[in-house]
Structure 1
Amino acid sequence: MASNAIIQYTSSSSSLATHIYDVFVSFRGEDTRNTFTSFLFQALRTKGIIVFKDDEDLKKGESIAPELLQAIQASRLFIVVFSQNYASSTWCLRELAEIRNCIERRVIIPIFYDVDPSVVRKQGGCYEKAFAEHEKRFGEDEVKMEEVQRWRQALTQVANLSGWDIRNKSQCEPIEEIVQNIINIVGPKMSKLPKDELVGIESRVRELTNTLRLDSINDVRVVGISGMGGIGKTTLARALYERIYHQYDRRCFIDDVSKIYRDSGLLGVQKQLISQSLNVKNLEICNAIDGTYWVWTRLHNARTLLVLDNVDQGEQLKMFTANRDIRGCVGEGSRVVIISRDEHILKTHGVDDVYQVQLLSWENAVQLFCRNAFKVNYILDDYEELAREVLSHAQGHPLAIEIIGSSLFGRNVSQWRSALSKLRYNKDRNIMDVLRISFDQLKEEEKEIFLDIACFLYKCGYSKDEVEKFLRFRGFDYENGIPALIEKSLITCEDGVIYMHRLLMDLGQSIVREKSPKEPLKWSRLWDYEDFKKAMLDNEATENLEVIYIKPGWHRGTVKADGLSKIRHLKLLKFMNVSFSGSLNHLSNELAYLQWSGYPFKCLPQSFQPEKLVELYLVGSSIKQLWEGTKPLQNLKFLDLSYSEDLVEMPDVRDALNLEKIELKGCIKLRKINPSIGLLKKLAFLNLGNCKNLVSLPHTILDLNSLEYLNVSGCSKLYNNELLDERRNKDHLKKLCLVEAHILSQSTPSFIKKMFLQPSDLLFPSSPTLPCSLTCLRELDLSFCKLVRIPDVIGKLSCLERLNLKGNNFTTLPNLQNLFRLYHLNLQHCKKFKRLPVLPLQTDYSSEFCKLPLSCFTDEKLVGLIIYNCPKLVERELCTSLIFSWMIQIVQSYEARFLENALSSQIKPCVGSLIPGSEIPRWFNNQFVSMDNSIKIDTSLVMHENNWIGVVCCAIFHVGNESEIIDYTSIDHSARIPPVDLRTDQVIDHSDHMWLFYLSRQEFGGGHYDFRWYKSYNGVISVEFRRLVMEWSEFRKDKDRYVNVYVKKYGYRRVYEKDRQLPNSGTRVDITQFFGTSSHEYSSKASSQETILQLMQ
């Protein structure tokens, strides 16, 4: 008979937090200790119920009454076992009176063992005799007699509660029923705690519960939990365990399997498992073989919940057997959870699924930090920026947030600043020790790969190809090393990009420094400019240093180059924007990669033997002659000497038979190309752009069927029409740049796909006629050709994808609506341009536009339209609607192509347009006035949602009249190409313009930080509207003047998955369908240009 007391139970979150015991059992020892009560205790403990039993838990020699009072107050539920002699014990009756005082707040379950319930209620029979003895004993003591009366009342009240009458019954069946009802009451303990006890735990428990498929009661499921150190794997598993353990016949949570295994071996782990799951103490097992048998025989028929925490070796899972699958060792409906930082261990042992614990969301990170740093749920005034700095450093890592937050509690702003300044250089030891465990478990080469990524490849994320290339230069096994780091949660690979958490980067760099923290010359790697500068000052020989990789930046001072001559085992050297003095007598012959932008010497050291060199970049160098004679170049694949203005002779490359790419752009004194180039059967790329003194090319170039790209633009002295001979294999040459090369003719072959022209290439520059043979042309650049008319033939170039007409004098354009593949049109600085033509349309998903080649979206170029500094343009409002419609199609195709073709591993382009406009359209439902000349886009509240795919943004800006001399030439949100040329000699239109751009969801982080020119943290992007350098200009001799840009206001709107669907009919894309409607005023769907225009206003 189930107890009605269960229905009466109500929980109190505040009181539950102080409970030590689940159940307090009141019983008469001499009646039931060795029978029913003993069996009941065993059954409760087997189910994980914490039971207070006075003859075990009370300490000898201490007063019993205070101990009992404390135990009663610390218990959640009471069981009273009424037996024949229960009422004869004043001890039992005093317990009962105290229990009765809790009847309003807690559950009391009476069990009638060998006595009739009515005898207890009315104190008849043996209970009457017992009370007669009590009254006789205390008859003259008025206080004691009042206590006796309270005992009678307690007996009556408790006996009136529904419970179990087990007289003359088998004890097994009622014990099982009693235990199950108690489990239902005390149930999942964690769920009774306040829900905000553990920040962010609820959603994670739900996800893990789904992974375990708890609703499937017959199958056995084994699930792994993985993630970086300190991320909360054990906390999550414990939270879930506490909620579901009562549903299982056997349950066990083994903390830190790794430590038990180290201390006591496999047998120690087995003893822990058996002790917990069977509630057996002082277990005698002699060896692991016996332990294996014990585990299997005790669990294989029982529904078991088993959690193994911190498994770091496969051997630790052999507690079951070396050969038997875990699933065969537990009964139907069992669940096994294995927690490990090493996903490889989990997969090796056949887990059904692996749950990856993620970093905290921005909202949860703020909440956790505030609880530790301020003891409230919000950031205090004056601490906002400092708090954001901490959170940006911790990047959602809960352990780091807790430790750093707690260390800052109670300190003022000045103390915070001081502490954070120290934190940049002196990492918290408690955090580093937790993270280092994973590093110490790596193999030696895996450690080296980790340190390389931590020191050189941590910011912004690097594509897998870039990381692979770097590690190959180092001679490391990329194919096995990278997966090993991913499996151990030391790096992540998302959308084909490798990321490392900032704290792990800190760990790696501190490991490199730890042996000689103040002597950088003794480190294996140098990445910080100041450390490099200090190391070179020592000018001593070193055996340890293998990589020097100084990131771009404005580095102050001059570095002595002499020290580089004494680095004997240097394998990779990369500088940008570093000034040197002194001399260079030697370079390590072990170099596989050398990039030294602005190399200050006239040649490479003669002693340098580059037989291991794969890539050589000396951009903007002072080189006159790279070397004399020949060198062992059998591994060289890339040679870049571009902008080396003193270079007079190309080096002899006859031994570089693997050379694939040669960059000599901007070598203005170069007169001839070494004939040995004709021997390079693998050469695919040759850039001779702006080699103004180049007068001829070796005829052997015509024999290079591997050549795909040839740039002779700006070679004004070059005459050689043989380059365009149709007899060449047209499947090879894909891109030809001809600006000022004097070799364009009407016989230009049809296989040319990209062409860049200037006036000198055209027969009649102001009114040109293009060759009719350009049927495969994809990219055409006619910028600054002084054209007053654009040839009509352009509208018939059906393969055209990119058209640059910047800086011309035409007033109108030909019909472009049949250019279905066109995805970029540049019309900036067309100062006489008046009217925008009809742009390409599409009416269904199968159109040519939606079949744009994948290359359109993977070459880091702008996708969209630029109309800037066109002061004569009329009908600007209609222009805006047409452009919006066209841009929407581009975004739809952009997302569709990436999703359908899994292009996430590629670098995505900038999707955007820039047009005249002064008002943000009203359907941008988040609109702001810019206070600091920047844009802040916040999607943190919806980062957890799966149905949005990106954000469309709009900013209104204008350019000022003032100017300054700078290197930065344009504005763009992704720092990939320059959408706007801001030179003062070009800008005459100072009216407002509208900058539209699209950011895919991946660019908002979820763990990614420090984009090149804008910052993202878990859904918040800040775009600094500044002049950004698009093409490195450190080697330009003359600086231009540029106008300043000012943002007036901006807005943005999220794009949802449903918005990505293309319309099936209509002449224009329905803008409300794309952007969605958030209020009734947008409920009607647009189907005409007029309606679209109305929405733009």
Structure 2
Amino acid sequence: MNQESSLLPSPEIIRWSYDVFLSFRGEDVRKTFVDHLYLALQQKCINTFKDDEKLEKGKFISPELMSSIEESRIALIIFSKNYANSTWCLDELTKIMECKNVKGQIVVPVFYDVDPSTVRKQKSIFGEAFSKHEARFQEDKVQKWRAALEEAANISGWDLPNTSNGHEARVMEKIAEDIMARLGSQRHASNARNLVGMESHMLKVYKMLGIGSGGVHFLGILGMSGVGKTTLARVIYDNIRSQFQGACFLHEVRDRSAKQGLERLQEILLSEILVVKKLRINNSFEGANMQKQRLQYKKVLLVLDDVDHIDQLNALAGEREWFGDGSRIIITTKDKHLLVKYETEKIYRMKTLNNYESLQLFKQHAFKKNRPTKEFEDLSAQVIKHTDGLPLALKVLGSFLYGRGLDEWISEVERLKQIPENEILKKLEQSFTGLHNTEQKIFLDIACFFSGKKKDSVTRILESFHFCPVIGIKVLMEKCLITILQGRITIHQLIQDMGWHIVRREATDDPRMCSRLWKREDICPVLERNLGTDKNEGMSLHLTNEEEVNFGGKAFMQMTRLRFLKFRNAYVCQGPEFLPDELRWLDWHGYPSKSLPNSFKGDQLVGLKLKKSRIIQLWKTSKDLGKLKYMNLSHSQKLIRTPDFSVTPNLERLVLEECTSLVEINFSIENLGKLVLLNLKNCRNLKTLPKRIRLEKLEILVLTGCSKLRTFPEIEEKMNCLAELYLGATSLSGLPASVENLSGVGVINLSYCKHLESLPSSIFRLKCLKTLDVSGCSKLKNLPDDLGLLVGLEKLHCTHTAIHTIPSSMSLLKNLKRLSLRGCNALSSQVSSSSHGQKSMGVNFQNLSGLCSLIRLDLSDCDISDGGILRNLGFLSSLKVLLLDGNNFSNIPAASISRLTRLKSLALRGCGRLESLPELPPSITGIYAHDCTSLMSIDQLTKYPMLSDVSFRNCHQLVKNKQHTSMVDSLLKQMLEALYMNVRFGLYVPGMEIPEWFTYKSWGTQSMSVVLPTNWFTPTFRGFTVCVLFDKWMPMILGPFNLHKVYGLKNMIWLNLKRYDGLRQKISTSFGPIGSEKPGGLGNTLITHVAFGSSWQLEDDLDYYRNNAFQLEFSACDHYQKDMVKGLGVRLVYEN
């Protein structure tokens, strides 16, 4: 049997209370063979029932004993000489054989000192016993005994005298191993039968444990309180313990070690593994030595549950040498650092349940049936949303709500939003109480103010409070109190609730006394009535929509210890007359005053963020702002002057983006030796900067959109740290030669500098420059002759410039990967004659031949005709993407393009004179040739095995080709067969026809709905292939991209998949846009495949989709062209 699959419990499995029931004649074997066999079974952690000696003296078997037989998975029958003399034994045997035939109980006979044929044929001493029974009992009863005995004796078993030469110890060991093998890994599987979401966890942990391999291995199961660590460990333990010579599950180590001492836990551990009683350990050192001595040759399974201190691990599983080969030690904990410090080899992090699993678990406890009744569906969804997949909370709340009426449910759900259930809080708070004081403060700040915020930003704020957040945040992560997801700090809803509860409890639910205020209903009364106190340390008012908040100028007067203040979307008419001097971080969007209060010293201020403020001048009097590191006044459109930066010597980040009234920057800025970021983006009235800058620590300088800025400062000294320089859309006519002092710069962006005429010749000295963008610089005619000396250059963007030559040195750019010359019409001004007298792009293309790393080349809209450049493309051996849109050639030389052996994407959109396509490299994956209105013939596309995107939209000359339809069918078939390599494909062709292959079709409609069969989701399911017929308007962009989110486009294709269960969940994906600016004339057909994958936001448990009724909704619409779509088709696609 496959061990991994057998690990999983079957939903049909019978609930067994015992692994083995021992049936034997007491006076023959109780104190000899059976006692030793019982011990051997116990040592292998096989749960065995052996009746008490006193029981056998009765005449009849008790109901309890009968139940024990029924509840045992295996019956082990010890046939001895006097077995048949006991009617008790015969009654047991009859019941055992009944359970075998009715319940599938496994029967294993052991022939101790009798021959199997003697038992089977009931002769000799067994025959004598039955002669006596026939004289005393009715015939039908005796016949049942005889039949049971004969059936049992015919089962293959153990003939002790003929096994291992009759050595009982060896036979007992073999019997125990046989029983262990029969039990396999399904032992106690009934315990896991109703455990929701455990299947995937069990398989992963089982693999990590490496059962069956040698060595001693430690595995940590990590997760927040209530996530199911103990449950998982228990299920794993129950399923594999029989494969070890000894096993022990020490639960609640944290609590029990504090209450009972580590010595008591050592006693329990050794007693269970060694199957001994009355073990006495005087101190933990003695216990450790005893463990090492007694267990070092024993294959042991040990679970240490809820460990929170290294001393516990040292006392209970100090070293690998304590345990025998093949041993496994599982540790459950909320503290990752504990596992790291203990050098645990493997760590498995438990995740919360997904929505589907949450619903199943909640229903088990709240309804005791498969689904909630209709009136409770919405309430169930609210509970599940609040618990955020935490199993403990789902069980507690489900059990609490079980059997209650609708009104009680509504009341409890409302209460949950304010106060979490006490049982849940008590469990969760264990992690908080184990934190140091500073870590507790960090946690409470995050719970109240910073959930979902960027880790780097939060770290800066917490540093201003001297909280040591680098190590503090790490500890909170290790304790499973927070997680970092895509650079942001996230906190489980119930963990956050716990933090809120702690803050309120400390203040006895009086907002005036709260150290932290974050709820509107608490903050507004405190401010409006001037009820603040010195207990208030932090306040964050973040409103969903802009809302007026009224309070007086002295609202903060009593909050003398306020260190953090943040307002969002709070429209305040009157500015503060007083701000606490203890403020370390002030973040007030829309700050209403013209300046900060004169009384505010600001000497403790580290962060000042007043975006969209009405500030004209920050302060009117001189300030000592020596601690200020971060200043952001962006979008403060009334700001006319910057402050004197000589009072902010430690400033690191200065953001003045879109301060549109700002005319100049105070010259003192040049002395900010610690400044890292300077952002003056879109300060459109800024005319001048200091003539010289020497900001040696500056890394990013943004002047984009400073449209009146005509000159760039001289760089007096080396600025090695500057990595990014953004000067786009300014009025600069050039850069100073001293730009060469920016020796570390990697990005220079000069895009859309309409007055830029040239680049300084000294630019070639910038050896670190990787990206140079001069796109849209319409007066730029030449690139520097020494451009090729920029050895690190990887991206060069010259789109829509006046460049007319390519410098010969460009061939030296061995690292250049992307080159864009889109719209550089001047490159074609040099004309060389051709046989047809047509223009030819005369630029010396050999100047590009050395670009051995070039991956992407854009020559679109360059007025390229036949010949010239097209003949020399083959030099670019690394090219993967070639864009030739909007040019005037009629063909592409096959000899040239076929040499591009790595080419994947070829774009020829709008090449109106193009008549045919040549043979392309076999590496090609995408051809985009829509609006090539003269295109009449194409190569056989099925010869390209990697091809997954094809667009010939509006190429209506192709329809006249008789091979067009067969080509589409063949290509579609090839794309489907290649789905194992690609997650999607797209095919856009002229004409309006839904191929016969599509199962579901709809005509004259923009949407369709399909009820999927119950068995639609199988392991071979690959997704949906869809077909859309467009009339008048055509699709523009291929593939399943959420472009509407990026560009705000409304014309989309949608696929929605609905399952009507208790939560009425819906998953969907979309792609597009599908609109075009040109009428399509004869119409076009889109065929594309939508893989059933990540874009759908699928449930982790794929059982969610199996054997359930789903409805697929498919729609294609354009909000401006209601009659665009003329037909739809869908087919479910499976492997093979």
TM-score strictly above 0.5: yes
Deviates more, 1:444-453 or 1:641-650: 641-650
Does structure 1 residue 513 correspond to structure 2 residue 508? no
Match of 2:153 among 156, 159, 168: 159
C-alpha contact (below 8 Å) 1:748/1:771 kept by paired residues = no
Match of 2:666 among 671, 674, 680: 674
C-alpha contact (below 8 Å) 2:855/2:880 kept by paired residues = no
Superimposed CA distance per residue, residues 499-527 of structure 1 (whole angstroms, 9 cap, x where no aligned partner): 32233222222322233464333222233
Match of 1:426 among 415, 419, 442: 419
C-alpha contact (below 8 Å) 1:565/1:587 kept by paired residues = yes
Match of 1:319, SS state, is: helix
Give the 3 Å change call, closer, same or farther, for CA 88–671 of structure 1 in structure 2.
closer
Does structure 1 residue 613 correspond to structure 2 residue 605? yes
Does structure 1 residue 180 correspond to structure 2 residue 177? yes
Identical residues among aligned pairs (%): 32
C-alpha contact (below 8 Å) 1:521/1:536 kept by paired residues = no
Q: Name the counterpart of 2:761.
A: none
Deviates more, 1:789-798 or 1:496-505: 789-798
Cα distance in 2, alignment partners of residues 957 and 449 from structure 1: 57
Match of 1:549 among 533, 540, 543: 540
Cα distance in 1, alignment partners of residues 268 and 910 from structure 2: 81
Report the CA distance between 1:826 and its aligned residue. 16
Does structure 1 residue 232 correspond to structure 2 residue 234? no
Q: Name the counterpart of 2:769.
A: none
AA partner of residue 929 (structure 2): L
Does structure 1 residue 349 correspond to structure 2 residue 339? no
Q: Name the counterpart of 2:531.
A: 540
Deviates more, 1:404-413 or 1:544-553: 404-413
Cα distance in 1, alignment partners of residues 432 and 689 from structure 2: 54
Give the 3 Å change call, closer, same or farther, for CA 272–665 of structure 1 in structure 2.
closer
AA partner of residue 270 (structure 2): I
Report the CA distance between 1:439 and its aligned residue. 1.8
C-alpha contact (below 8 Å) 2:751/2:777 kept by paired residues = no
Q: Name the counterpart of 1:264.
A: 260
Q: Name the counterpart of 1:590.
A: 582
Give the 3 Å change call, closer, same or farther, for CA 917–365 of structure 1 in structure 2.
farther
Q: Name the counterpart of 1:755.
A: 750
Match of 2:501, SS state, is: helix
Q: Name the counterpart of 2:311.
A: 315
Does structure 1 residue 108 correspond to structure 2 residue 107? yes
Report the CA distance between 1:125 and its aligned residue. 4.0
Give the 3 Å change call, closer, same or farther, for CA 147–652 of structure 1 in structure 2.
same
C-alpha contact (below 8 Å) 1:637/1:659 kept by paired residues = yes
TM-score by length of structure 1 reads: 0.69
Match of 1:338, SS state, is: strand
C-alpha contact (below 8 Å) 1:834/1:874 kept by paired residues = no
Cα distance in 2, alignment partners of residues 239 and 220 from structure 1: 21
Does structure 1 residue 500 correspond to structure 2 residue 510? no
Match of 1:878 among 929, 934, 937: 929
Report the CA distance between 1:85 and its aligned residue. 3.2
Report the CA distance between 1:773 and its aligned residue. 5.9
Q: Name the counterpart of 1:1018.
A: none
Cα distance in 2, alignment partners of residues 528 and 91 from structure 1: 73
Match of 2:477 among 479, 486, 493: 486
Q: Name the counterpart of 1:601.
A: 593
Superimposed CA distance per residue, residues 209-250 of structure 1 (whole angstroms, 9 cap, x where no aligned partner): 22112231x311111111122222222222222222112111
Cα distance in 2, alignment partners of residues 944 and 313 from structure 1: 46
Deviates more, 1:740-749 or 1:426-435: 740-749
Does structure 1 residue 50 correspond to structure 2 residue 47? yes
AA partner of residue 878 (structure 1): A
Cα distance in 1, alignment partners of residues 470 and 1126 from structure 2: 45
Q: Name the counterpart of 1:475.
A: 466
C-alpha contact (below 8 Å) 1:758/1:782 kept by paired residues = no
Cα distance in 1, alignment partners of residues 817 and 334 from structure 2: 51
Match of 1:55, SS state, is: coil
Give 1:981-992 correspondences, 5 Å limit: none
Cα distance in 1, alignment partners of residues 1002 and 338 from structure 2: 50
Does structure 1 residue 247 correspond to structure 2 residue 243? yes
Give 1:396-795 correspondences, 5 Å limit: 396-405=389-398, 419-459=412-452, 462-494=453-485, 496-516=487-507, 518-551=509-542, 553-561=544-552, 562-582=554-574, 584-670=576-662, 672-683=664-675, 685-687=677-679, 697-699=689-691, 701-702=692-693, 704=695, 721=711, 723=712, 735=725, 737=727, 741=731, 753-755=748-750, 757=752, 768-770=778-780, 772=782, 791-792=802-803
Report the CA distance between 1:634 and its aligned residue. 1.7
C-alpha contact (below 8 Å) 1:871/1:989 kept by paired residues = no
C-alpha contact (below 8 Å) 2:756/2:779 kept by paired residues = no
C-alpha contact (below 8 Å) 1:40/1:175 kept by paired residues = yes
Cα distance in 2, alignment partners of residues 705 and 916 from structure 1: 58
Match of 1:95, SS state, is: helix
Which ranges of structure 1 fall in alignment gaps of 5 or more residues?
1-10, 784-788, 851-864, 890-914, 934-940, 961-971, 1009-1021, 1027-1042, 1053-1076, 1084-1097
Superimposed CA distance per residue, residues 66-105 of structure 1 (whole angstroms, 9 cap, x where no aligned partner): 3332222222222333333333333333333333433423
Give 1:115-126 correspondences, 5 Å limit: 115-126=114-125
AA partner of residue 525 (structure 1): R
C-alpha contact (below 8 Å) 1:920/1:1050 kept by paired residues = no
C-alpha contact (below 8 Å) 1:190/1:239 kept by paired residues = no
Give the 3 Å change call, closer, same or farther, for CA 743–767 of structure 1 in structure 2.
closer
Deviates more, 1:547-556 or 1:349-358: 547-556
C-alpha contact (below 8 Å) 2:78/2:110 kept by paired residues = yes
C-alpha contact (below 8 Å) 1:593/1:616 kept by paired residues = yes
Q: Name the counterpart of 1:85.
A: 82
Report the CA distance between 1:470 and its aligned residue. 2.8
AA partner of residue 438 (structure 2): E
AA partner of residue 482 (structure 2): I
Give the 3 Å change call, closer, same or farther, for CA 99–712 of structure 1 in structure 2.
closer
Report the CA distance between 1:328 and its aligned residue. 0.7
**Structure possessing the higher relative contact order (Cα contacts under 8 Å, 6 or more residues apart):** 1
Report the CA distance between 1:327 and its aligned residue. 1.1
Match of 2:52, SS state, is: helix
Which ranges of structure 2 fall in alignment gaps of 5 or more residues?
1-7, 759-774, 831-840, 883-904, 915-926, 934-945, 951-987, 1008-1014, 1034-1040, 1052-1074, 1101-1112
C-alpha contact (below 8 Å) 2:641/2:665 kept by paired residues = yes
Does structure 1 residue 335 correspond to structure 2 residue 336? no
Give the 3 Å change call, closer, same or farther, for CA 153–382 of structure 1 in structure 2.
closer
Match of 2:631, SS state, is: strand
Does structure 1 residue 71 correspond to structure 2 residue 68? yes
Give the 3 Å change call, closer, same or farther, for CA 849–581 of structure 1 in structure 2.
same
Cα distance in 1, alignment partners of residues 525 and 910 from structure 2: 54
Match of 1:79, SS state, is: strand
C-alpha contact (below 8 Å) 1:748/1:773 kept by paired residues = no
Report the CA distance between 1:772 and its aligned residue. 3.9
Cα distance in 2, alignment partners of residues 928 and 631 from structure 1: 73
Superimposed CA distance per residue, residues 80-139 of structure 1 (whole angstroms, 9 cap, x where no aligned partner): 333333333333333333334334233333333334444444444444544454455x3x
Report the CA distance between 1:845 and its aligned residue. 8.9
Report the CA distance between 1:266 and its aligned residue. 0.8
Report the CA distance between 1:270 and its aligned residue. 0.9
Q: Name the counterpart of 1:1032.
A: none
Match of 1:282 among 270, 273, 278: 278
Q: Name the counterpart of 1:900.
A: none
Deviates more, 1:398-407 or 1:475-484: 398-407
C-alpha contact (below 8 Å) 1:842/1:849 kept by paired residues = no
Alpha carbon RMSD of aligned pairs, Å?
6.1
Give the 3 Å change call, closer, same or farther, for CA 433–242 of structure 1 in structure 2.
same
C-alpha contact (below 8 Å) 2:854/2:879 kept by paired residues = no
Match of 1:553, SS state, is: strand
Give the 3 Å change call, closer, same or farther, for CA 261–43 of structure 1 in structure 2.
same
Equivalent residue pairs, number:
927
AA partner of residue 114 (structure 1): D
Give the 3 Å change call, closer, same or farther, for CA 706–956 of structure 1 in structure 2.
farther
Report the CA distance between 1:740 and its aligned residue. 6.7
Q: Name the counterpart of 2:976.
A: none
Match of 1:347, SS state, is: helix
Give the 3 Å change call, closer, same or farther, for CA 710–295 of structure 1 in structure 2.
closer
Match of 2:572, SS state, is: strand
